[in-house]
Amino acid sequence: MNYTYKHIWLIAFPVMMSILIEQLINITDALFLGHVGDVELGASALAGIWYLAIYMLGFGFSLGLQVVIARRNGEQRYEETGKTFFQGLFFLLMLAAFLCLLSQILSPVLLKHLITSDDVYNATVCYLNWRIWGLLFSFPLLALRSFLVGITQTKALNMAAFTAVLVNIPMNWLLIFGFDMGISGAAIASSFAEMCSLVVLTIYLFRHIDEKVYGLRWHIEIKILKEIFSISVWSMLQFFVSVAIWFLFFLAIEHLGETELAVSNIVRSVSALFSVIVNALAGVTSSLVSNLIGAGEKGKIFPLCHKIIRLGYVAGIPLIVLALVFHQHIIGAYTENPVIVQVAWLPFMVMLLNYFLALPGYVYLNAATGTGATRTVFVFQLTTTIVYLFCLWELSHRNVPLAAYWAVEYLFVLGLGVQSVIYLRACRLNFPIK
């Protein structure tokens, strides 16, 4: 297998569009709610990250599912890819139903003890009461995406992404302002957009993927499900922790004040656009690495990673320059409050420059995931998280500007990347999945 820049981009671009579904939904919510009020803008940040932490349990499982599917695809055991997909789909459907019910019971109780402002708490719970049901659509969507990325047929993800965006924007306006539903309207619009995206991708699967070749027949095989889960459980924990620390980050900011919380939500919202590029290229890395190992070409892992990183810089640097030049217009799109626009500039710049470390950090981390070493990757995540939280704790006891909190992210992504490179160089000839 010789993956060229063009081949990598053709696989990665639809994945970017797919990831953009979740990110644009969050960005659209923030854009509309910023014109409702600062409380709603800040609450949507906390609620969005709380939801994302739960969502990442499914995303982590889907990444392990993708690794197994890609390995079978690389071994040219095509019928096994379909069998693997259906085991993953079944598990994600059950997990979505369980997490929806659990969140309805526990989220209000837990958030009451974490959020200091009553107004922010009430708005956060109001959003989550509707948003959490989106898991019933987003988790099956993750299973479909894992299958298509694993077999490197990703064009359909574009259609699903555009469908979600085209539905979410007008629905946000209609429900938030037209029906005066406020933050609840944003949550309903987001879940409805995910449902429409799932419908589009499901129709594509049954119309364009050969069910005989890929073994697309619904049946449960516990042995295959156990194999997927043994790989996925660590990536589930890894991604849950990665978002949980974001929630702790925003809790620390919430204690600084509602203005700082609103500023951080704007910065996080814009950063989501750049994380789309990073996460898409990183996700493709794990799939292509798994395909390489399945084909017996382990020596090509580092050259592949280097190509993906160069491609990411080519795609991201022009956007960073544009964001720096037009920062006032970008921040101003979220709010008409001049204080927020002024305070946001320095954290905004710190966030943008983090891209240069985040891209290689996550590409190498996902290359390690692609080898099947998900438990090792979780250890990397855990050790780096401990250092990250210690730094946040230290900052919370000092009088430092908001930008200093955002700068700790540099240390986080650097730690992930360095540990992953060391692992890949030390263990490149002995990878877990057989």
Q: How many CB atoms lie within 10 A of CB 367?
A: 27
Q: pLDDT per residue over 56-115, tens digit each?
A: 899 889 988 988 898 888 888 888 899 899 999 999 999 999 999 999 999 999 999 888
Burial of 152 (0-12, 13-18, 19+ CB in 10 A): middle
Least confident of 187-191, 234-238, 327-331: 234-238
Q: Rounded CA gap, 424 and 416, in Å?
A: 12
pLDDT at 206 over 80: yes
Instruction: Identify which has the larger pLDDT, 425 or 95.
Output: 95
Cα dihedral sign for 105, 140, 218, 65?
negative
Q: Rounded CA gap, 60 and 239, in Å?
A: 6
Q: Which of 247, 251, 280 is nearest to 22 (CA)?
A: 280
Is residue 296 within 8 Å of 431, Cβ to Cβ? no
- Note the pLDDT of residue 428: 55
Q: pLDDT per residue over 136-186, tens digit each?
A: 999 999 999 999 988 878 888 888 888 888 898 899 999 998 888 988 999
Task: Please give the share of the chain, as a percent, with pLDDT higher than 70.
Answer: 97
| Residue 358 pLDDT class (50, 70, 90 cuts) | very high
In order, the DSSP letters of 102-150 are HHHHHHHHHHHTT---HHHHHHHHHHHHHHGGGHHHHHHHHHHHHHHHH
The two three-digit tokens of residue 241, written as one number: 């922790």
Q: Rounded CA gap, 33 and 42, in Å?
A: 9
Q: Which of 236, 327, 318, 211 is nearest to 274 (CA)?
A: 318
Is residue 311 within 8 Å of 285, Cβ to Cβ? no
Instruction: Tell the residue number behind the tokens 């924007």, with chain if given.
Output: 169
| Ramachandran bin of 296, using left for φ above 0, alpha for ψ from -120 to 50, beta for the remaining angles | left
Query: pTM of the entire structure?
Result: 0.73
| Residue 429 pLDDT class (50, 70, 90 cuts) | very low
Q: Rounded CA gap, 111 and 50, in Å?
A: 9
Q: Rounded CA gap, 434 and 431, in Å?
A: 8
Is residue 415 within 8 Å of 383, Cβ to Cβ? yes
Instruction: Name the 3-class secondary structure at 221.
Output: coil
Boundaries of every domain in the chain: 5-427
Highest mean pLDDT among 34-38, 302-306, 397-401: 302-306
- Note the pLDDT of residue 18: 67
Distances in Å between the Cα of 172 and the Cα atoms of 165, 167, 194, 199 are 11, 9, 13, 20
| Residue 434 pLDDT class (50, 70, 90 cuts) | very low
Is residue 29 within 8 Å of 265, Cβ to Cβ? no
